[in-house]
Structure 1
Amino acid sequence: MKKPGSTGSPALLAVSSHLPETVPVSALQDGLSLSDQQIRRFTRLYGLDRICQSAQSEAELMLAAVGKLEELPGREEQVRYIVRAKGLRTTAPYPHNPVQEVRAELGLTRAETFAVADHGCATGLLALDVAATLLAEDGDPDALALVLFGDKTLTPFSQWVADVSIMGEGMAAALVGATGDHDRMLGYASRIHGRPDGQIDMTPEIAKQARQIYQDALEEVVLAACEQAGIGVRDLDLVLPHNVNRVSWTMTGDRLGLPDEKLFLDNIPATGHCFCADPFINHQSAARLGRLKPGDRYLMTSAGLGQAFAAMVFEH
């Protein structure tokens, strides 16, 4: 990624999201074998209320998000890359390939199409950095990348993270340019605190390790991204986090010295944790509500299974 303040910084040219119908947390109790105590923890303590669930396929959900990108029609020939950000390694049974279905449906036959994974719910920011790098090397100032965020929950394993959050099926899409006059990327940092055996499943041992390092690891990438952007954490006007739960973000805000009004947590009760789509769903919501103003510096940040952490700073 180019250095902050440089000419031609990569930018989010447009962001859209699709939020399907929702169900109350209590409706998932039997399917996920949740106890009454777990339901109370998720709702009363963690702030979850309704979870996005849909009968639509993953391709249909992604197409619904892309369909709301008003800046895309008429610019299809400029789309050089389609990057699929996957919080889960596998999101559809073989031989289905949802991102190729999206490519074909949109008629973007000239676009190189691939998926990025293995950073869990932090993969969305990784995908943006990959898209920005490819566009910078492309050499065509008019070239675009279409980045798709979010996952379909196919199994109970992918529907919740034990005692952390419940996953939703909201999707987001972003049109990325090599340059732009708003939503410019100023800094990016990521870090994986992986295990030698490569295991990411939240066993009791791994869950304990995750709790021990979570706040330190998240603070590390937030500070690094802000440093690359040439600002301090307290210079941020807004934080667009992953919607994991209210408690973790209250603790993070206190640790970073950020007041509650700088943390955009509105969607936690409305959507559930929609994998790597969360920061982009929050971006659209915040923009619609007038929480992002021209010149604001804001931060997107996420953490994923496998102890992957990422943060990215933008100027609106």
Structure 2
Amino acid sequence: MKRSKQVRSSVAFLTELGFSYGYVTEEADRFDELLVAAAQEAMADSGRARADIGTLFLYSGLNPHARAPRAGGILERFRYPVAKLADQLELSHANALALSQQGCSGLLSAINLAAHMVEAGGSPAALCVAGDALPRNANREIMYNLMSDAAAAVVVERGSPRNRIVSFHQLAQPAYWDSPQRERELVAAYFPMAQRAICAAVEQAGLRLSDIRWIVPSNVSLRSWTILAELLGIPVSRIWSKNIARVGHTVCCDHVINLRDMSRKGALTRGDHLLLFTFGFGASWTSLILQH
């Protein structure tokens, strides 16, 4: 890792937290190309025809209204990225929906919503695409985490033989909506709320923590995962933390990146129960349990 103007801390401190690399989009105005590439790869991997995709979800965790439009630029607010993505993917028949404002929890929420829609009937599959690129020269340290730009996508299918959704549980504390002003309170609340969200999802699934083969993490600092593992009474070795150093923490793509790498490295066995957990500003603590 090299020191950058986009981080405040020393290389030694970031390394101690578990980070070695961060990824920055060099051309932010071409970020949609990453979204298209991720979506195309997910559709190809699923083997689904475009006609099977009834709904397209596009999630962004960054606040799209953080800056006011320039004078006379109100119409620009109606240039919807999800419509552009549907056009680029040739999904004009799909219902295109954009989701936002759940921070790092958003993609897991989108997957849960897509699963309910698919199970309710209609089209047999939905496509969830997510990604964020921080503004140029933005500070990439957020609450002791090194942030990376990334895009990811998954196809949610009715009756899928792999990565079946077993349970979803989310705890919300909207009183923490003002993250900059309540940062210290969020840090204090993080661990007990994380423990509650994880244990509730496990109980809802009719499982015990010992039944979970892997915790698939958001790539936040390794130190925080060590503390959470102690609270849960599980060995750190059951947290697949290999990408914390290599990738850093993306806003909402960590779980998809990690699952893909776990599959490629042969870490997954059919029948394994996997627990995906993340915290999102806003604030929400979210757990999704899958059976591989």
CA distance in 2, matches of 1:74, 1:184: 17
Matches within 5 A, 1:1-316: 24=1, 26=3, 28=4, 30-32=5-7, 34-36=8-10, 39-43=11-15, 45-56=16-27, 57-69=30-42, 70-72=44-46, 75-90=49-64, 94-95=76-77, 96-137=79-120, 139-140=121-122, 143-155=124-136, 159-162=140-143, 164-195=144-175, 198-200=177-179, 202-203=180-181, 206-316=182-292
CA distance in 1, matches of 2:82, 2:12: 37
Offset at residue 136 of structure 1 (A): 2.0
2:6 touches 2:138 (CA, 8 Å); kept in 1? no
Structure 1 residues 104 and 260: alpha-carbon distance in aligned structure 2, compared to 1, 3 A threshold: same
Number of residue pairs matched by the alignment: 280
- Counterpart code for 2:62: L
Structure 1 residues 158 and 308: alpha-carbon distance in aligned structure 2, compared to 1, 3 A threshold: farther
Offset at residue 155 of structure 1 (A): 4.8
2:62 touches 2:100 (CA, 8 Å); kept in 1? yes
TM-score, with structure 1 as normaliser? 0.83
Structure 1 residues 25 and 179: alpha-carbon distance in aligned structure 2, compared to 1, 3 A threshold: farther
Q: Which runs of 5+ in 2 are unaligned?
A: 70-75
- Counterpart code for 1:31: Q
- 1:27-51 per-residue CA deviation (whole Å, 9 max, x = no partner) reads x2x234x143xx43212x2111111
State the percentage of identical aligned residues. 24
1:125 touches 1:312 (CA, 8 Å); kept in 2? yes
- 1:85-111 per-residue CA deviation (whole Å, 9 max, x = no partner) reads 222122998455333222111100011
Coordinate RMSD, CA, aligned: 2.1
Q: Which runs of 5+ in 1 are unaligned?
A: 1-23
Structure 2 residue matching 1:195: 3-state secondary structure: helix
- 1:138-177 per-residue CA deviation (whole Å, 9 max, x = no partner) reads x23x521100122111155573314x21211122110001
- Counterpart code for 2:209: V
Offset at residue 300 of structure 1 (A): 0.6
Offset at residue 65 of structure 1 (A): 1.2
Structure 1 residues 113 and 265: alpha-carbon distance in aligned structure 2, compared to 1, 3 A threshold: same
- Counterpart code for 2:54: R
Structure 2 residue matching 1:249: 3-state secondary structure: helix
TM-score, with structure 2 as normaliser? 0.89
Structure 1 residues 306 and 40: alpha-carbon distance in aligned structure 2, compared to 1, 3 A threshold: farther
Structure 2 residue matching 1:191: 3-state secondary structure: strand
Structure 1 residues 77 and 216: alpha-carbon distance in aligned structure 2, compared to 1, 3 A threshold: same
Structure 1 residue matching 2:6: 3-state secondary structure: helix
CA distance in 1, matches of 2:85, 2:139: 22
Offset at residue 58 of structure 1 (A): 2.5
Structure 1 residues 167 and 35: alpha-carbon distance in aligned structure 2, compared to 1, 3 A threshold: closer
Offset at residue 74 of structure 1 (A): 5.6
- Counterpart code for 2:133: K
CA distance in 2, matches of 1:157, 1:199: 19
- Counterpart code for 1:127: A
Query: Structure 1 residues 294-303 or 224-233, which shifts more?
Result: 224-233
Offset at residue 254 of structure 1 (A): 1.5
2:225 touches 2:236 (CA, 8 Å); kept in 1? no
